[in-house]
Amino acid sequence: GQGVEQPAKLMSVEGTFARVNCTYSTSGFNGLSWYQQREGQAPVFLSYVVLDGLKDSGHFSTFLSRSNGYSYLLLTELQIKDSASYLCAVRDRRYGSSGNKLIFGIGTLLSVKP
């Protein structure tokens, strides 16, 4: 079947880094997105990847391995304000020619401690 899996919680320390993992299974993979969602707020787009490898966007970097059905979001130089949920979403091309259906994981709640 299809699915997107993420750990529910992650804890890290200010000034260090955090890696949020995501695994997925789908026969129609057409890209993967990461969103940040603060408590009580709407998800906000962070990154999109469709090719294997590491995409460095400064504070946020994203890695993808399509053969392993695996991605991670890497946050460096963590700040307290990075505490939020991070949602992994896989785009599946079977749901329309432009593949606009997103399948979301449950989100990983990152807590950054002083």
Partner 1 sequence: EAAVTQSPRNKVTVTGGNVTLSCRQTNSHNYMYWYRQDTGHGLRLIHYSYGAGNLQIGDVPDGYKATRTTQEDFFLLLELASPSQTSLYFCASSPGGAGTEVFFGKGTRLTVV
User: Does 107 interact with partner 1 (rule: CB under 8 A)?
Assistant: yes
User: Does 104 interact with partner 1 (rule: CB under 8 A)?
Assistant: yes
Mind spelling out the 3-state secondary structure of the chain?
CCEEECCCEEEEECCCCEEEEEEEECCCEEEEEEEEECCCCCCEEEEEECCCEEEEECCEEEEEECCCCEEEEEECCCCHHHCEEEEEEEEECCCCCCCCEEEECCCEEEEEEC
User: Does 45 interact with partner 1 (rule: CB under 8 A)?
Assistant: yes
Of 67 and 97, nearer to partner 1 (C-beta) is 97
Q: How far is the CB of 28 from partner 1 (least distance, A)?
A: 11
Site size for partner 1 (CB under 8 A): 27
Residues at the site binding partner 1, with contacts judged by CB under 8 A: 4, 30-31, 33, 41-45, 48, 50, 87, 89, 91, 93, 95-96, 98-107
